[in-house]
Structure formats: structure tokens, C-alpha cells
Structure 1
């Protein structure tokens, strides 16, 4: 079984296919390495495509203590996979929890990122939602511990930004729900408390985002309500960022709209690899509405 060991002794499972420029996929809380199968098949034709199961998600190790889970560790675990595979730099693509990890990978390991694709990123990020989000993370962890993932998943899968997936693709949604139900109770609860609940708000990271120079793409569904305004914030703050919004789509965009997601991301990676991805022209940051008067 392909795996690597992190510097704190956690074994991480990964899969890879294809050859060429490396691209690593980082999954969301409700997903795992299997969530990226449409991307592994698509990008594996052109890239060395890698997906991995985060700590707490079998067949990766499931640490028993919450202290083994954090936003920083989530970012550093991406680097651990790259180290094991002797990869100096890679494109990094993350969704939701994986999108936050991707952004923080850019902060912590910028020289190792060929690009950052930050998708579905923003839950709980708005300042007036922080207290609510922390409370809901506590409630989610408690529900998982008392009910177990098999029961909890039947509620969580039908959240307000996931029903779009069920409406479009009931067969794909059933597969998603089934995989979610098999996640580790301990790992899922600890991930909620150690990673989700404690991550800093995006609005407190504006200065770090302004200093980021890695080519970046922000992707969100237009019905992924918690991610829309944070997506605009990242677009405004990261000088190398573009923003793509997928219409009539919710949170799980890489499997809800795989063809559109793959098209957008492939176009981004192609421009980056050709050296044609731009930084924002300073003239675009005028405070004037028309440009006539600053």
C-alpha cells in the first residue's frame, strides 16, 4: 500500500497515475482520496496526478488525540507526500477543507507550489459567522461521536450546498453519501475540532494573501453561499488570483460538475505552465469607479 510517514509519525495513504508535471489533489471534509477520481482520470492523461487521504481518513492513520489535527499540519501533510515522491514543485488543487489546506500550503511552502487552485473555500470565514461556525463544528463533532458516521452522514450529505449535487446526479450523490458514511468516527470528529473549528478566518489573512505571488485560481459554485464572498475576498487580496464561478452549483463542484471543473482547471494549469499567467495590473486597483478620478 503506497504511503508516507509525516514528521510526527502519521502514515498517509496516496494514489498516483500518469506522468509529467505533478498535480496533487487535496480533499474536503466530507470526501477522501476517492472524491478526486474524475480528476485523477482526466488529469492523469496529461500530468502526474496524485490524491491522498488526509490524516483521520482511512487507509491513512487515524490519530486518537485532537492535538494531532490542525490547519498547519494539513498544509504540511501535502509537503510530506511531495517529499516522499521526491517532487520539488507541484500544482496543488484543493476543495473546501482541502482548499484551506491549499491556501496555507501557499503561505508555508510557496516555493514548492507551481500553482494553487483553491475551490469551495470559505465556510465560517466571514467575521460575523465565526462564532456560529465554531458552534456548529462542536455540534458536528458531538453528533459524530454519539451517532457514528453511518447515521450522521444521512444528515450531513443533504446540507444546503450539497442538495444541488443530488438533484443533478442522484447516482453520483449516492456514491458520495456511501463513501461519507464509511469514514472514521474518531478521525472525522477530530478533524472537525482540530482543523475546521480552529482554522483562522480568511479575513484575518489578508496581509498574507497580498504577499502571495503563486499563480492562483479561486473556484466556487454560485449556490455555495458560504464561499461566494470569501471567494471575492481572495480574488481581491491575492494579486495573482482569478475567480471562476460555476453556475447553478453547490459545494462539491469537482464531482457535481466534473467536466466544467476540469475544463476551468486545465485552462489555468496550461497558462501557468506556459508562463502566461498574469499578475494583476496595478491600474486595475484604482479606487475610482470609472478611472477618471482617483
Structure 2
């Protein structure tokens, strides 16, 4: 999959918010912009790119700090306001007025923040295994979720997290993917090697961890939240070991047009572990939104 996926997409760069971001693209039509999570890069969407390129211009971004995108120095460069500005610049820089935005994990957190900041740029929002920020904040009051999220505190330490993740040929990455997955054949040796290669690029690992180190100083995690008017689909792998299923519940109180789909026997890596189910739910949601808005 890795070799064929690498050759079937076009690799490009775009200037936005004072940095250069790498992305891959395939297809023609309305823009579907895909945002990956930690510790991934655009490759985590390898099962969605060919599927949705039949109807969309699919763009899978390397977020700042990841893989071949620029890696600005300092924790402040990874605060949520900067991450959101990156996405606005990408959409406009590609020549689109609106898009469908999909995000998983950290990409989903950015997508939530973006939807509140720039709702006029979105046709629809799709988030995968990432709770609404208000629900996540509430979830941290639960002992079970607090324990599951303890890694966030560890990642904010200087130097040590980098050393731990790099040890044993990035054994922590292998464990993160295969250890958390329900289906143990989800990630091939080639997939794991591809993720290790991206994380080992100069400056990448520190940049990736700086997303977590920026949390205490980011207003995104302290603000109050109103009602989001952007049509939203949440897809949730029920066996997520990092995020409790309870975090997905009660989200409808924050989103006026909300759709929730659970996938049983599926981990945090939902779009990689159950791609056919994820693709089906995404297609059903997007088709529904097109019909509701009178689009072909």
C-alpha cells in the first residue's frame, strides 16, 4: 500500500501563515481537506484519498512540524491560533471559498477550532475520534479519562519524551500503532517504517510534541463554546484506549446539525483500521448534506 499510495498522489507545497506546508492531492471537484493526528502525517488518510478522489479534489496535509512541512522553532509556534490560520491559508491559497474539512485526533482538534473561527469557509465538518473541546475538558474531570490522558503531561516535559520515543528504533511508535489497534494486521511493516521515517526527519519529533507543550498557553483550551452551525459528522472507534467513548456523548448540545456513528471493535486509528466503514459513513453524510442544500 505504501509504495502504490506514494506514486498515485501528487506532492505539492503551499505557502501559508509565513511557512511552507507539504500536501498530497488527487482528484477533481470540490475541496475535501484532510488533517491527520499524532504521530502520523498525510499517509494516515491513504484509504480515503483514492475513494473520495472520484468526486473531490482531495488534499491531505502535513500539518506544520510534520514530515515534509516546515518545522518552526519554539512552543508558541504550535498554539491553536497559529494552527487554525494555517488551514485558512491553505483553503484560500488553493483557490477555494469553502471546503469539507475532516480531521482525526490532533487534526480533529484543529478542525473543531477552525469550524468555530471560520464557519463561512466550511460546507461540512467530519471529526474522527476527537471530542468536542468542551466535552474533552469535562472529561478530564473523570478519573478514568484523566488516567488515559496522563501521557499529555509527560509530553510536556523537555527532552525526555523525545528520548523515550526514539529509543529502540522508535519502538514507542510501533507500540502506539499496533499496541492500540484492535485488528493487529492494520499496520504492515511497511506502514510502520513509513511513520518512523517521517518522525525521524530533522526537527520533526520535537515539533510534533510541541503541539502538546503548547496546550497550557493556548486560549483554545480555556474558552467557552457556543452552538456550531456547521453540519458535523463524528465517527468514533469504540475501543479507543486514549479517549473514552463517553467523550463522544452529549456533543449534540454544541452542534445544531450533528451526526454520530460508532464503529465497534475499532481503535483510535479508526480510518486506518476500518476504512470501508469510515468511507461509507462519510459518503452517506456528505450525500445527505448535498441533498439538504439542493446540490447535485
TM-score range, shorter chain: 0.7 to 0.9
Contact kept? 1:39, 1:262, Cα under 8 Å: yes
Q: Distance in 1 between matches of 2:158 and 2:235?
A: 26
Q: Is the 8 A contact 1:64 1:187 kept in 2?
A: no
Cα distance, 1:47 vs structure 2: 1.2
Deviation of the 1:72 alpha carbon? 2.1
Label 1:139 to 1:65 Cα distance change in 2 as closer, same or farther (>3 A). Answer: closer
1:1-294 mapped onto 2 (5 Å cutoff): 2-7=12-17, 9-122=18-131, 125=137, 126-128=139-141, 129=146, 132-138=150-156, 142-144=160-162, 146-147=163-164, 149=166, 151=168, 153-159=170-176, 162-165=179-182, 167-169=184-186, 172-182=187-197, 183=199, 184=201, 186-195=203-212, 198=215, 207-208=224-225, 210-225=226-241, 226-275=243-292
RMSD between aligned residues: 2.9
Q: TM-score scaled to structure 2, two decimals? A: 0.81
**Gap regions ≥5 residues in structure 2:** 1-10
Residue-pair matches, total: 271
The 3 A distance-change label for structure 1 pair 249 and 186 is: same
* Unaligned ranges ≥5, structure 1: 278-294
**What secondary structure is seen at the aligned counterpart in 2 of 1:2?**
strand
| TM-score of the two chains, using structure 1 as the length reference | 0.81
Query: Which 4+ runs in 1 deviate beyond 6 A?
Result: 199-203
Measured after TM superposition, the shift of residue 6 of structure 1 is: 1.9
CA-to-aligned-CA distance 1:223-274 (integer Å, 9 cap, x gap): 0141422211423422211111111000111111110010001111111122
Which stretch of the first structure deviates more once superposed, 133-142 or 261-270? 133-142
- Distance verdict in 2 for CA 1:69–1:219, change over 3 Å: same
Contact 1:148 1:185 in 2 (8 A): no
